[in-house]
Structure 1
Amino acid sequence: MSKIPEPAAAALPDPRRWRALVFIALAQLMVVLDATIVNIALPSAQQDLGISDGNRQWVITAYALAFGGLLLFGGRIADLWGRKRTFVVGLIGFAAASVLGGAATGEAMLLGSRALQGVFGALLAPAALSLLAVMFTEGRERAKAFGIYGAIAGGGGAVGLILGGFLTEYLDWRWTFYVNVPFAVVAAVGAYFVIREPAGTRNRSPLDVPGVVLSTLGLVALVYGFTRAETYGWTEDWTIIVFAASVVLLGSFVAVESVMRHPLLPLRVLADRNRAGVYLSLGLAVIAMFGLFLFLTYYLQVVKGFSPLKTGFAFLPMVVGMITGSTQIGARLMTRVPPRLLMGPGFLSASVGMLLLTQLEIDSSYVGLILPAQLLLGLGMGTAFMPAMSLATHGVQARDAGVASAMVNTSQQVGGAIGTALLNTIAASATTAYVTSHAASATTPEALRLVQLQAMVEGYTSAIWWAVGILAVAASIAVAMVDTGRPNAAPGGAVKDGAPDDEVPVPVLAH
């Protein structure tokens, strides 16, 4: 007989759990903001270290490839080795890699440090989310915990833009790396002394080495394919070869996992329609969000002439919206309504905010257009992200919590790569077309400059229209595929996926 855990045995004492959440949230903030904080500092770092225009993209790509490619491996390591131990090691390693990046004396040292950040981030991120999954099992507490986590996961990128702008403008680009050290040290020390991982939640099965190799190579090829497409085009020979390789490798990975006794990614994790709906809708939402960060940053700095710091602060309404949507709307309603009634309307509200931004012009008012659009985007995303993060690991056996958490991060990482490449390609094509058709009419340097700026805006709005559609599809998927009822308000629930007697399951959602 499978056992349903006793509430007292399955959870940490309340004060310790909530103290643990502080350090988990701090670590998650560090990982998420690192995805954008370096972007603002990149021009300064490029000039200082003599990095060529052709190689500068690798400062971003090296992190994305290591992080995205190793997430599934990192998630399973957390399940096997222990989530607390993996979490602390990931923090220490991330801090060390950040010091290396801040002290970089050349291109190779900087790129190497970014890859190392990605490696340790792939250990850290799944461990953080899976710790929440196994520590917070009671409905209302889980809602509050994931409300905080969802706000950070959604708003951390915008926080990175603010912090990156401040550090680059008033200190030095190297501080965009050094700033990770206090985050990591405080989180690691706090986690070591405070976190107590619930007993019986570790997966002690052998590591699936073929699955590790195939998934890592397949995900690296997929992320690199989108990165390469952005630079060299979608029909370039090597771009097609890399995409084809990713399809073969990931297809082989699924085939191997279906016959392995102890698979790296148990297919039961993906077979559940609710989790599949979360992974798909989150991935699509991130495609839209990454495109927005990119275009709005360029619009504010190049078209409106904002400084890096002012640009960072211009994203504050989105952060406020995400925090409000996640902690005040999502967390309060998650135990009262089915998740699809938060995710669907949330993504739809975000698409309305995005729709407002299709009206951008050179002289658009920040207060009249961009600020309300960001508030709608933030509120919608925060409301949707919070139940999505919780549902992605709810109903998963505790032994699979790490790899299920890794799938959440993988969908976001792949979504980010797709969003940057796809939407940037659409924007560039629209910009080129506008310049081609209007450049002849520009008879003075001032007129030509105006045409160039208008072309950029035309490119941004063309891509943002696609983002509107993508968010609408995400809302549709959430409503159609996520069919679970509201979470139980009390701990406990049925055991799923055939958990053996010695496993402590994470309670499932009630239908």
Structure 2
Amino acid sequence: MLVINKDETQKKDDSLTRESTHDQSQELSRPHHEGSTHKPQFLLHEVAFVGVICGAQLMTQAGLGQSIAPLHIIGDSFGTRNPGQLSWFAAAYSLTVGTFILIAGRLGDIYGHKKFFIIGFFWYALWSLLAGFSVYSNQIFFDCCRAFQGIGPALLLPNAIAILGRTYVPGRRKDMVLSLFGATAPAGFVLGAVFSSIFGQLAWWPWAYWAMGIVCFCLAVAGILVIPRMPLPKLDTSASTYQRLDIPGSVTGVIGLVLLNFAWNQGPVVGWQTPYTYSLLIVSAVFLCVFAFIESRATHPLLPLSALSSDAAFVLGCVGAGWSSFGIWIYYFWLFLEELRGHSPLLTSAQFAPVAISGLCAALTTGILISRVRASLVMLFAMTAFTVGGILIATAPVNQVYWAQAFVSIIVMPWGMDMSFPAATIMLSDSMPHEHQGLAASLVNVVVNYSISIGLGLAGTIEGQVNNEGANLLKGYRGAWYMGIGLSGFGILIALMYEYHTFRKSKKVPSEKLFA
């Protein structure tokens, strides 16, 4: 009798399992948003669609590379060699990219991701053209153009990922597409660095920005043609636009982030003992505390903490630690090659070219692995790549051949970038409902941009303390790299904690089923 009951129970369990599996497959086959979305019907259309969306990431990183590579060429045209003034050529761009991403994601969630994606490219095109024309003005106008230029990528990135998140259901295809999106980051940086170096050395540097404007305009038009119709999300009619946009949270958040970024970048330049640097840092902390208070009581918070899980916190922690070390690695690597090894911007850009190939391999590998292994293991591998890449360049002699440690570091580091970013994006996109797809994309990009900014602020402070007032550049660069190694090592610690957390959770679930 006991055997019969056990067999019957087993049959019922099998039946429930089949029903559950059938329900799950039906759920995955349905779009995870309301309304009908016209998806690409043909392979050629899908290739064009994915290409235009990936163009957002490509052009964002190209915008960063086009200011770092010909840094001294642009500075000479404005009659400045001051390191503090030169640093703002890239910092002004990064400031607005990192600050306005969160708001851009919310605007897309409410008013349509395709609309703000296209607006982002048109905006990017306009201010790229004006940045080129700033050669007839002065450095201040160029910095302002760079800051306004950064709002374009801020509109592009979260809405690009949200479009992909709404078009593809969770699965292998979505993983690969989002991985390809991440793979375009190193390729974009190399592309921007190479062409800006070519224009800067062989023609006139403003042409790099005018060419950028033309390409962004073409991508905006292509987006209108190839991106499928995206139905507007179902809005809460009981709430006003003021509440849905969370205006108080947006204002306090933007002010806090801008002041934090400005103070952190300016501190190493003018010294932390300068009153306005630490004063602004304190004021930014106050605004961010007010922002957190407002978000905890808002009906439609800009950053709904309830949508975040412990897994998301671990992943974002890993991304923050790893990408802060990456920012230090690439900035001081570029200075190392140009200032100490005496390479031209074009030769330095050529030496960074393997980053694009290595990054593509890393992203495709992540797209395959993310559905087969735990995200904690992917993050652990990425943090290890960040650490190894930093150690290789930090210990490289000045007169060593390129193919020894520098080349290997350039090959290894993209595995940290293009495993952590796609994995974080895929995990947050899959775990959040369709109305928060813009938020999922925004969070990853905000953490990436601000971790780079904070990492460079820490590294710049250390460099200024150990380089003997600029007399020993190598010692200063290595001090900065050691700081980056410490940050990526901290990322390994977070990834190990995440792996332990995931392992305990996986053991807990079967035991709960056993006693259920």
TM-score tier (shorter) = 0.7 to 0.9
Paired position in structure 2 for 1:245? 283
1:473 to 475, 480, 490: 490
2:75 to 36, 46, 63: 46
Paired position in structure 1 for 2:4? none
2:475 to 445, 458, 477: 458
Paired position in structure 1 for 2:382? 346
Structure 1's unaligned 5+ residue stretches are 436-451, 486-511
The ranges of structure 1 where at least 4 consecutive aligned residues each deviate by more than 6 angstroms after the TM superposition are none
Paired position in structure 1 for 2:20? none
Paired position in structure 1 for 2:137? 106
| Structure having the larger proportion of residues in helix | 2
Other structure's SS at 1:394 match: helix
Superposed, 1:54-453 pairs within 5 Å as: 55-104=85-134, 105-107=136-138, 108-199=140-231, 201=233, 206-269=244-307, 271-327=308-364, 329-432=365-468, 452=471
Matches of 2:102 and 2:431, distance apart in 1: 19
* Worse-superposed segment, 176-185 or 409-418: 176-185
Query: What is the CA-CA distance between 1:13 and the residue it aligns to?
Result: 3.9
Q: How many equivalent pairs are there?
A: 462
Give the percent of matched residue pairs that are identical in Structure 1 and Structure 2: 24
Query: What is the CA-CA distance between 1:9 and the residue it aligns to?
Result: 4.6
Matches of 2:476 and 2:85, distance apart in 1: 24
Structure 2 CA distance for partners of 1:389 and 1:167, relative to 1, 3 Å:
farther
* Residue deviations 1:288-340 (CA, integer Å, cap 9, x gap): 1111111111111111111110000111223322111111x211212111111
One-letter amino acid of the structure 2 residue matched with residue 119 of structure 1: I
Structure 2 CA distance for partners of 1:109 and 1:431, relative to 1, 3 Å:
closer
Structure 2 CA distance for partners of 1:302 and 1:294, relative to 1, 3 Å:
same
One-letter amino acid of the structure 1 residue matched with residue 56 of structure 2: A
Matches of 1:356 and 1:9, distance apart in 2: 45
Matches of 2:347 and 2:196, distance apart in 1: 11
**C-alpha contact (below 8 Å) 1:134/1:201 kept by paired residues:** no
Paired position in structure 1 for 2:59? 30
Structure 2 CA distance for partners of 1:254 and 1:93, relative to 1, 3 Å:
same
Matches of 1:313 and 1:253, distance apart in 2: 44
TM-score when normalising by structure 1: 0.84
**C-alpha contact (below 8 Å) 1:66/1:115 kept by paired residues:** yes
Query: What is the CA-CA distance between 1:216 and the residue it aligns to?
Result: 0.5
Query: What is the CA-CA distance between 1:202 and the residue it aligns to?
Result: 5.6
**C-alpha contact (below 8 Å) 1:64/1:223 kept by paired residues:** no
Structure 2 CA distance for partners of 1:14 and 1:460, relative to 1, 3 Å:
farther
Query: What is the CA-CA distance between 1:224 and the residue it aligns to?
Result: 0.8
Matches of 1:163 and 1:363, distance apart in 2: 27
Looking at CA atoms only, which structure, 1 or 2, has the larger radius of gyration? 2
Structure 2 CA distance for partners of 1:158 and 1:347, relative to 1, 3 Å:
farther
Superposed CA RMSD:
2.4
Matches of 2:85 and 2:401, distance apart in 1: 36
Query: What is the CA-CA distance between 1:396 and the residue it aligns to?
Result: 0.9
Q: Which has the higher contact order (CA 8 A, sep 6+)?
A: 1
**C-alpha contact (below 8 Å) 1:288/1:471 kept by paired residues:** yes
